[in-house]
Structure 1
Amino acid sequence: MPYPTLEKLFYADTTSNRFTNHESLLQSRLSNESTFRTGIQLEYGELFLAVPRELSRETEHALRRERRVSALWRALPPVALGAYIRSLILDEVVYSNEMEGVHSTRREIEIALDHVQAAAQGAQENGRLEHTPFVELARLYLTLTKAPSMPCSLEDIRAIYDSVVADAIDPKDLPGDALFRSGQVVVENERGKVIHRGVSPESEIERMMTQWLALSRDEEIPELYSALMCHFLFGYIHPFYDGNGRTGRYLLALHLSSPLSQPTALSLSRVIAENKAAYYKAFDTTERKLNHAEGTHFVLELLNLIGLAQENLIADLEGKRSALDTLNERLNALEGKLSQRECSTLYYATQMQLYNSFQETKLDDLSRYLEVSKPTARKTLAALCDEHGLMERVSQRPPIYKLTQKGVDELGLAGV
């Protein structure tokens, strides 16, 4: 029998002692030596995590899948790895925004990423960078690829929030000079029923966000569990008027980037968006009065979503890796027709075809990869376009190329 909620057991008890039995069961779960207690008081009790058999099993399954994801990730060539991590960032941002009704396209986020990286290399004027939509959000997500640390102060959390919602929030919904909101907020469902009231007043928000910081650094709780419990707690506190969902999901990716791999941490928003009903139900289950703030079912559901993200990654990476493994054979067959530099260009373009969201080969990037001048790289691309029909130019400024259908077929990429 699956691990039942306290609420379910209460309604299943038809005796006259069900209130007493319910309290005894709650105390039994709280006092169990395997239970992780947070000391954080919510409306209906102390937030805690029991560790039933189901949780141990799901954790083991997640760690097994994670080993497979990590092995596939480490096996990627550097070019493919860089292209794939950018693709994951694009999806993570777009899906997280979409859940909150914020429209952003992959192309917009791609442009923002390009501008942030160009600025870091000193090749971008600050004025242009400042007027690029979602540039602060792009900069924030790029930090996830560089072993970032969790926020250490309430000011750090506010700074993260400002970056997440930049260019995508009504100024009237910003807290202003205060760190968090000062007024009350309620969350309603599509029928207008109130399903959650955020913590208030502001002093209570600050107190509970300080507890959030302590929970995020609690070394007595396994990091995977504390990350998921923190995600619930952030949503429960609801510290801002708007943008809580996007900020909470970024903080979740940030927290999970330590116990899990980068690709897994950057794949959750898409899975959450595809399973919104289960995701929101997990919050509701923990908040229900008769469940007394038990976070076990929330953690179980989030582990299930992590598992879906891992399975999708494994299937995608294995399929693309198989195509990449056979590429050398295809290039060997073309050696008599193509120069070594042309073969190297096709190898690069194939990685872009498989791992880049737009399947594009940019002249600037290719010249760096080949370690040749741009005119030399352009000449190589021209030969592949005009003489062999394997590539085509799809943009003049900036110069961008893609494999043609002939190129896709001859390199064995059809259907991948």
Structure 2
Amino acid sequence: MTYKTLENLFYADLSSDRYARHDRLLHERLTADGTVRTGIHLEHGELFACVPLNLSVASERILRKERKISNLWNSLPYVALGASIRSLVLEEVVFSNEMEGVHSTRRQIEAALESAEDAASELCGAAEKEHTPFIEFARLYLQLVDGSSRPGKPEDIRKIFDAVTKGVLDPKDRPDGKMFRLGPVVIENSRGKILHQGVSSEPEIIDLLGKMIELGNREDVPSLYAASICHFLFEYIHPFYDGNGRTGRYLLALSLNETLSQPTVLSLSRTIAENKTAYYKAFDVVERPLNGSEATPFVAMILDLIEQAQDAVLGDLVEKRVQLDDLKRAIDELDDTFTERAKDILFYAAQMHIFGAFGESTLDGVSGYLDVTKPTASRSLSNLIAAGYLEKVSARPLVCRMTETGLNLLGLE
């Protein structure tokens, strides 16, 4: 049975005492044994979420799918794993930017990732202008892969915001308080209707963010529920003039990172972008007066998005796992005209073709994989290029990819 909102039940009730019935039902839901109560009071009452059967079942489905995803993920060789992580980070940053109307290409994010990974790198001139806006955001997601911890105080949220918005925020939208905004924010639709007004004062923003952090750390609240409710609360507070969306989605990923696998967490922004109408509508449902600050529908929406992300990840991993197994067999069946080093390079390049964002192999990557010097790796790559199995994407630095001949040789599309 579909879980009905209090507002829907109120309008379906045609009796003369529907207001009293509504109030009783709100009280019943709020005080039920299975209800998650936050103790955080918003405009229309205490923020809470019930745990109906359909959400309990959804939570269990998610955890079961996570086991399948983790098994597939952990079975990948390290080259495929590294390429997959990089590709997922690219997608996550691009789609999170897209949700906020910030245009970024995968090539730009790739350049930002390279810069973020190299602490000694210094961008200058045109390169700096093109890539700097995304370096800190890319670095955040690299830290997410490494297991970053959730914010412990409101100051940590400000630091995340600064990293997320560096180089892309209009100067007039910079926070003008000690940490957050001082002025009001009003969210309107295209017709000028007010959809949401953020919390009014900086002290209240700091207070609610502190309570949000406490809620995220509570051990008596299921982690998926806590992450979902905290995500709603962050966007409700709206602590900044701009950049709340990207900051909030990163905080959501950070919270879920302790429960869900990397590929699931790194697929959420794309899934949200593909379902943004339902995503934005769910915020509005919680804020409607008759719903009394019940976040159950919002939690249900987040769980549904997580499942959609999981399904996409599972489908992709199953398909690529089959390709990888076929590739291994094809490599083993190559005749003696191929040296062991040539086979190793083809296996590396084919993994990059299957799992990488651009299907490209760098000289650094190949030499590291083979554990040989760059000149040695370069000579081996040149032989495969001359034979038509690889082609150059660039000469300096040397970057290659599989040719159609090479793909046919290994039975790949």
Query: Take 2:286 and 2:278, find their aligned partners in 1: how far apart are those partners?
Result: 13
- 1:181 is aligned to 181
Relative to structure 1, the CA distance from residue 80 to residue 148 in structure 2 (aligned partners, 3 Å threshold; closer, same or farther) is: same
Task: Please say if residues 48 and 296 of structure 1, whose CA atoms lie closer than 8 Å, have aligned partners that are also in contact.
Answer: yes
**Per-residue deviation, 1:345:** 0.3
Q: Match for residue 46 of structure 2?
A: 46
Does the CA-based 8 Å contact 2:176-2:182 persist in structure 1?
no
In structure 1, how many angstroms separate the alpha carbons of the residues matched to 2:213 and 2:112? 30
- State the SS of the aligned residue for 2:233: helix
In structure 1, what is the Cα distance between the partners aligned to 2:272 and 2:116? 27
Number of residue-to-residue matches in the alignment: 410
Which residue identity is paired with 2:6? L
Displacement of 1:225 after TM fit? 1.0
Map of 1:215 onto structure 2: 215
Secondary structure of the corresponding residue to residue 321 of structure 1: helix
Residue matched to 2:411: 412
Letter in 1 for 2:407: V
* Aligned position for 1:254: 254
- Quickly say closer, same or farther: Cα 1:130–1:149, change in 2 above 3 A: farther
Instruction: State whether residues 66 and 260 of structure 2, in contact with CA within 8 Å, keep that contact through their aligned partners in structure 1.
Output: yes
| Residue 333 of structure 1: how far off its partner (Å) | 2.5
Match of 2:309, as an amino acid? Answer: A
Output the CA distance in 1 between the equivalents of 2:191 and 2:342. 60
Q: 2:113 maps to which residue?
A: 113
Whole-angstrom distance in 1 between the partners of 2:208 and 2:72: 40
1:300-342 alpha-carbon deviations (Å, 9 max, x no partner): 0110010000000000011011010011221122232211000
SS of structure 1 residue aligned to 2:169: coil
Q: Which residue of 1 aligns with 2:309?
A: 309
SS at match of 1:227: helix
2:382: which partner in 1?
382
Alignment of 1:66-145 (within 5 A): 66-119=66-119, 122=120, 124-125=121-122, 132-133=131-132, 134-145=134-145
The amino acid across from 1:113 in the alignment is: L
What is the deviation of 1:130?
Answer: 7.2
> Which residue is 1:9 aligned to?
9
Change (3 A) 1:130 1:206: farther
Asked whether the 8 Å contact 1:66–1:261 carries over to 2, the reply is: yes
Distance 2:287 2:64 in 1: 31
Q: Please name the residue that 2:392 is paired with.
A: 393
- Is the 1:208–1:237 contact (alpha carbons within 8 Å) kept by the matching residues of 2? yes
How far residue 126 of structure 1 moved from its aligned partner, in angstroms, is 7.7
| CA displacement at 1:410 relative to structure 2 | 1.8
The aligned residue for residue 357 of structure 1 is 357
Counterpart CA distance in 2 for 1:288 and 1:391 is 59
- Measured after TM superposition, the shift of residue 99 of structure 1 is 0.7
Q: 3-state DSSP class of the match of 2:11?
A: helix
SS at match of 2:118: helix
In the alignment, which residue of structure 1 is the partner of 2:285?
A: 285
Match of 1:226 in 2: 226
- Shift in Å, 1:125: 4.0
Rounded Cα–Cα distance in structure 2 between residues aligned with 1:303 and 1:24: 28
Moved more, 125-134 or 265-274: 125-134
Percent identity, please: 53
Distance in 2 of aligned mates of 1:64 and 1:138:
30
1:360–1:402 Cα contact (<8 Å) kept: yes
> Structure 2: which 5+ residue stretches go unaligned?
none
Q: Is the 8 A contact 1:335 1:343 kept in 2?
A: no
Amino acid at match of 1:268: L
Whether contact under 8 Å (2:361, 2:401) holds in the other structure is: yes
Code of the residue aligned with 1:396 in structure 2: it is A
- Give the distance between the partners of 1:306 and 1:30, measured in 2 at CA: 26
Q: Give the gaps of 5 or more residues in structure 1.
A: none
Q: Structure 2-normalised TM-score? A: 0.97
Moved more, 17-26 or 326-335: 326-335
* SS of match in other structure, 2:112: helix
Q: Which moved more, 1:172-181 or 1:62-71?
A: 172-181
Residue 169 of structure 1 corresponds to which residue in structure 2?
Answer: 169
Q: Which residue of structure 1 lines up, in the alignment, with residue 266 of structure 2?
A: 266
Equivalent position amino acid for 2:254 in 1: L
Amino acid corresponding to residue 214 of structure 1 in structure 2: E
**Separation in 2 of the partners of 1:47 and 1:229?**
8
Q: Secondary structure at the match of 1:175?
A: coil
- The question of 1:201 aligning with 2:205 is answered no
TM-score normalised by the chain length of structure 1: 0.96
Match of 1:149 in 2: 149
Counterpart Cα distance in 1 of 2:210 and 2:279: 25
Q: SS at the partner of 1:334?
A: coil
Name the CA distance, whole Å, in 2 between partners of 1:354 and 1:145.
21
Cα offset, 1:127, TM superposition: 6.9
Deviations 1:106-160 (A, max 9, x none): 11111111112121xx5x2487997642111111111111121111111111000
Cα separation, 1, equivalents of 2:165 and 2:367:
36
1:59-85 CA-partner distances (Å, limit 9, x unpaired): 111111111111111111111111111
Q: Which moved more, 1:29-38 or 1:218-227?
A: 218-227
Residue pair 1:198, 1:239 contacting (<8 A) in 2 also: yes
Letter in 2 for 1:18: R
Shift of 1:268: 0.3
